Amino acid sequence: MPELTSIFTAPDGDLIFRIVLSLILGFIIGLEREITNKSAGLRTNILVCVGSCLFTILSIFGFSNALSIYPMGDPARVAAQILTGIGFIGGGTVLRHGTSIFGLTTAATLWVTASVGMACGCGKFSIAIICAILSVATLTLIRIFERSCIPKTQKNNKNMKVTIICDDENAPFFGNIIVEKFPDLTEMSKKDTGYEKNLTKISFTVNICCKNAIEYIYEQFKDSNDKLVSISVKELSD
């Protein structure tokens, strides 16, 4: 059996440049996600881009000698499985609350970041750079366009998650208030807090068309503050 020689047939300097470029482009894309406080930020996008680049390099150069031994082999399978791996990572960024789904933009960004890394690994530097620039432009400029051009009634639609903790005896009272004040709620759950007796935790998700949605929600419970143990409100974003 012929002895396998060096894993690389391309100059090491060129391969290192591909990896470094993928790191830089992953940083550029990830920076936008980090600034907007998304779940997959700077480090995730850098690692996805560099990893995709490295797997592509291995797919191209790592099996060149092996093909002389196993001519029926297909080294492109390594690169093909990158998208499968990205599917698992992207799936972890997608969340479902009632009928609403969040995180699709972040998952799509990881998918594009992987393709940029693969382009670097193939040596298609101009394509990789242009794609990275267009991706960042899409994430930033389209957001500005949405905020400035989309009608106010749509732009101010916000998905809010509200969590209320109250005494067990007041749980039916707050349940009625929630149904009355928020008829468009998409999800509601009621259970014991688990860490203290005689307390009930009520959580619900609702779509609010209001510029100051958090203040609006607090306003609905201001007459019942004496019966509340705590209330928290947060906005669910992409």
Class for domain 154-236, per CATH?
alpha beta
Written as tens digits, the pLDDT of the chain (238 aa) is 344 344 445 567 889 999 999 999 999 999 988 888 777 889 999 999 999 999 998 888 876 665 565 565 566 777 778 888 888 887 777 765 444 566 788 889 999 999 999 999 999 999 999 999 999 999 999 888 877 776 554 556 778 888 888 888 888 888 888 888 887 777 778 777 666 678 888 888 888 776 677 778 888 888 887 888 888 888 876 5
Q: Measured between alpha carbons, how far is residue 116 from residues 45, 132, 228 in Å?
A: 11, 7, 51
**Which residue shows structure tokens 């005494």?**
167
Domain boundaries, the chain: 12-149, 154-236
Helix (H) or strand (E) holding 100: strand 100-102
Q: What is the pTM of this model?
A: 0.59
